[in-house]
Chain A
Amino acid sequence: MGALVIRKLLYWMPFLFGIGFIAPLTAQTMAYWQIDAPLGLSRIGFGLLFGGLWGLYANIRGRWI
């Protein structure tokens, strides 16, 4: 059971990486350069959208670019 959960987590790792790492990194980079998020979103909201979609793309396509 534990092994199955770990395998599932690793399978979805690109998506998790998108929301777990890329999202806050994006938000903090925007804050560092004083860039506002578009469409009235907060920086972390934009980061989650950007990171989540990118991670999902990587999950589906099997590559980040």
Chain B
Amino acid sequence: MDRPLDDLTREEAEDYALPGDAGLIEGGVEGAAAERSAFEWRHAPQLDKHVRVNLRLQEREVAEKFMADPKHMRIYTVLTLGCFGLWLAMFPLTMMQIIPIWPCFLFATFIAAVGYIPSHEAMHRNIGRPGTKYHFWNELVGQVATLILIFPFSMARLMHMHHHYHCNDPVMDPDYTDGASGPIMAWVKTWLNRQPGADGSIHHYKRCLERIGTPEAQVALRDTMLLQLGSMGFLFALAWSGYAFVACFLFWLPRHLGLSYIRYWLSWAPHHPRDGLDRYTNTRVFRTWVGHWLSLGMQYHIVHHLYPGIPNHATKYAYYEMKPILEQRGVDCSPL
């Protein structure tokens, strides 16, 4: 295996001394965040080190069974590229009135909302690890899957890694601004955060990238600005050429609906109330009436944060096998 299985806190990393991604975790998360917080942070119960190590070994045994296999991940590549190609084709087809615009609007909204999932797998290099023949496809999927959201892959990957390393930290977690008191406010916030003067969504990401300041962050910042300008230029050109409805219903509106859906289900719902700082409390297990598919599998998001190498479609099965171990670690598994 060429990757660490899971994300570790600094303290736990000392127990295991794993190389790789775990070494990227920056310190000061618990101390700094807790000092700034107005409320008490939730932590998993302190267990004896022997028990902890034993449970972790059991957890890892389960996780290993569900880790992404590039051969089984091809479906993500096929669906992403197919949907992207279809979306592009819809522009001339609707402009020439060969097909009506409303089914295209529904399709564009669908891929805007769901396209983040393959991109997310690519961010974690689950579609193809570097140095393998699948890596090219991994990067390609990442690049095209969120174009409809005007969300460049370089920025998405960097921000998502920071979210993992600093999950729920009010300052360091780029997604912390999605926090809201309840579901209705969370939907409203997804929209408020996108307002020109708001400190949320992509505006917050840009500020995070400026703060990080590494060459990768500068590239991501440049990509973001160029993609934003290019996309606006494309929208304006379409609109002024007499195809404002096409621009609106194939790109602009699906993007906004998709972003709100993603922000709610992938950020707010699994992390609410964002009061946990360690690996067993920074997400929650929850039940929703919309079910597994419409919630994009986020009810089992804890598995993703523990083992990002497990692909989204497998987190449900991994969760149920891991559930007794998670309960011993203090995770509230009662909803599912």
Complex Cα distance, B239 from A64, in Å, reads: 20
Asked whether B198 lies within 8 Å of A21 as measured between CB atoms, the reply is no
Flag A52-65 by CB within 8 Å of B: 1 or 0 each. 00000011011110
Given contacts A17-B232, A21-B236, contact A62 B245 (CB under 8 A): no
In the complex, which residues of chain B have a beta carbon less than 8 angstroms from the beta carbon of A9? 229
Asked whether B196 lies within 8 Å of A13 as measured between CB atoms, the reply is yes
The dominant DSSP class at the B interface is: helix
Complex Cα distance, B228 from A22, in Å, reads: 17
Given contacts A24-B239, A63-B195, contact A13 B232 (CB under 8 A): yes
Given contacts A28-B245, A62-B195, A62-B198, contact A20 B240 (CB under 8 A): yes
**Which residues of chain B from 96 to 148 have any CB-CB distance to chain A below 8 Å in the complex?**
none
Complex Cα distance, B252 from A18, in Å, reads: 13
**Which residues of chain A from 11 to 41 have any CB-CB distance to chain B below 8 Å in the complex?**
13-14, 16-17, 20-21, 23-25, 27-29, 32
Interface size on B, residues (CB 8 A): 21
Given contacts A20-B239, A21-B252, contact A28 B244 (CB under 8 A): yes
Nearest residue, chain A, Cβ from B226: A6
Flag B217-245 by CB within 8 Å of A: 1 or 0 each. 00000100110110010011001101011
For residue A53, give the distance in angstroms from its CB to the closest CB of chain B: 15
The dominant DSSP class at the A interface is: helix
> Contacting A59 at CB < 8 Å: which of B196, B222, B236, B247?
B196
Nearest residue, chain B, Cβ from A64: B195
Given contacts A10-B225, A21-B247, A28-B245, contact A62 B239 (CB under 8 A): no
Asked whether A61 lies within 8 Å of B236 as measured between CB atoms, the reply is no
> Contacting A28 at CB < 8 Å: which of B196, B232, B242?
B242
Asked whether A20 lies within 8 Å of B236 as measured between CB atoms, the reply is yes
Q: List 12 A-B contacts (CB under 8 A).
A: A6-B225, A16-B236, A21-B232, A21-B236, A24-B239, A25-B244, A28-B239, A29-B244, A61-B197, A63-B195, A63-B196, A64-B196
